[in-house]
Amino acid sequence: MIIRDIAHDFKWQYGEKEVIYHKERLGLRRHILQCGDLSLTYGSVIILEDDLFVSPYFYDYAVKALQYYDNDEAIGGISLYNQPREEMSQRPFTPINDDSDVYFIQFPSSLGQAWTQTQWAAFKSWYGTNPDITNLNIPDKIYTWPETSWKKYFCSFLVKTNKFIVFPRISLTTNFNDPGTNLKLKVNHDGQAQLRIFGSDYRFKEFRNSYSIYDVYLEITPDCIRKLAPEFKEYEFEMDLYGLKNLNKVRTSYLITSRPVKQFAIGYKRALKPHEMNVIFDLRGDDIRLCRKEDIIIAEKTYDEMIAEYKFHYYKSLTGWKMLIYERCYSNFPYLSAFRKKKK
């Protein structure tokens, strides 16, 4: 039985069902674009790909979020998935927890998303101009994504138009990282997110009133830092706690960064989580630094820094059997063993 037959035979009791199929394979970008276009006909659209597992309340949440944010010009769409990690480095991501059920990121969701007609029309209008995305301040890795990626263009749209996606604090979708077109082997469970299993009167918050807003690098915005730590009002700065920003595209004189620096104005520990809390609570140290952009040292990690990151990683420690496997693998690599002896 082919997928088309399964779709036709499926009993849908909640209204009219329309099965749309194509004679040729569209590819991911064209497929998502055509699905998004359905919002122009029906007023909104929820997109769920075939590798997702959903909460019983995904539809309830999507409808209420779409209604709440439909007229907010800062919003480019709704995510049904909670973002558990920074995708470029695969390090854990946790937003500041304010008094709402949502937070905002200038980055698209691809594991369950929804758009109103207004939100999607804004993207399609921009996309229809055949935009040049080569010089935008987005993570360098995004430029390596294939041309089949719709997400690369939607991310560029969000940055270019200064719009954000609404993310839920408790996920309405999750993913098993099953093998498929983009994943050949099941290697982890990183797609898993805690699912909402009870309904709720969702505590939505207007974008302009939020304390939990993150840029395309998943760094908290300077405006949020200033709201929580007013002493930063005198500085024009960007956050660089993951250490991933392209400094050639940073327009401010100062950064708050985890990278090595020549000198710095103020230093903070890297102890509290999420990592911006060290700055907000003024936990002084020298792991995170407020410095001028020109004082940041751009260099490859040393051998000792690499080992330290594996053993004492702030974001995701290797412990127990994982560390044992790492140590044994390390001892079996001749070039690393030679390097270790040379260091001694």
- 44-56 confidence digits (pLDDT tens): 999 998 889 999 9
Question: What is the band of 23 on the pLDDT scale with cuts at 50, 70, 90?
Answer: confident
Domain end, chosen from 214, 247, 267, is at: 214
- Which of the four pLDDT bands, split at 50, 70 and 90, describes residue 26? confident
Q: Are residues 326 and 229 in the same domain?
A: no
Q: How far is CA 95 from CA 85, 104, 199, 312, 328, in A?
A: 10, 9, 22, 22, 35
Percentage of the chain lying above the pLDDT 70 cut? 82
Q: Which of 149, 183, 214 is the last residue of a domain?
A: 214
Q: What is the mean pLDDT of residues 283-291?
A: 96
Amino acid occupying residue 315? Y
Task: Mark whether 331 and 231 lie in a shared domain.
Answer: no
Q: Is the pLDDT of residue 122 over 90?
A: yes
What pLDDT was estimated at residue 22?
Answer: 84
Give the whole-number percent of the chain exceeding pLDDT 90: 67
Amino acid at 52: L
pLDDT given at position 3: 82
- Same domain? For 139 and 264 the reply is no
Q: In angstroms, how far apart are the furthest CA atoms of the chain?
A: 73
Residue 48 one-letter amino acid: L
* Residue 62, both tokens: 């999507």
Using CA atoms, how far apart are residues 30 and 28, in angstroms rounded to an integer?
A: 6
How many Å apart are CA 174 and CA 190, to the nearest integer? 10
Q: Is residue 10 part of a domain?
A: no
Classify residue 11: in a domain, yes or no. no
Please tell me whether residues 39 and 131 are part of one structural domain.
yes
With respect to residue 14, please indicate whether it lies within any of the assigned structural domains. Answer: no
**What's the whole-number mean pLDDT along residues 190-201?**
84
* 259 shares a domain with 152: no
Nearest-angstrom CA–CA distance, 236 and 233: 8
d(CA 285, CA 269): 4
The verdict on residue 207 lying in a domain is yes
Residue 308 domain boundaries: 303-343
Which contiguous run of DSSP H or E holds residue 224? helix 222-228
Do 204 and 107 fall into the same domain?
yes
Task: Give the model confidence (pLDDT) of 218-230 as tens digits.
Answer: 999 999 999 999 9
Tell me how many domains the chain contains. 3
Domain assignment present for 181: yes
In the listed set 181, 214, 247, which residue is the last one of a domain according to the structure? Answer: 214
Give the tokens for residue 265. Answer: 């104005």
pTM of the model: 0.86
Q: What is the mean pLDDT of residues 154-158?
A: 97
77-110 pLDDT, tens digit per residue, is: 999 999 998 988 888 899 999 999 999 999 999 9
Read out DSSP for 282-343?
A: T-BSSSEEEEEGGGB---PPPHHHHHHHHHS-SSS---THHHHHHHHHHHT-HHHHHHHHHH
Find the mean pLDDT for residues 112-136.
95
254 plus 176 within the same structural domain: no
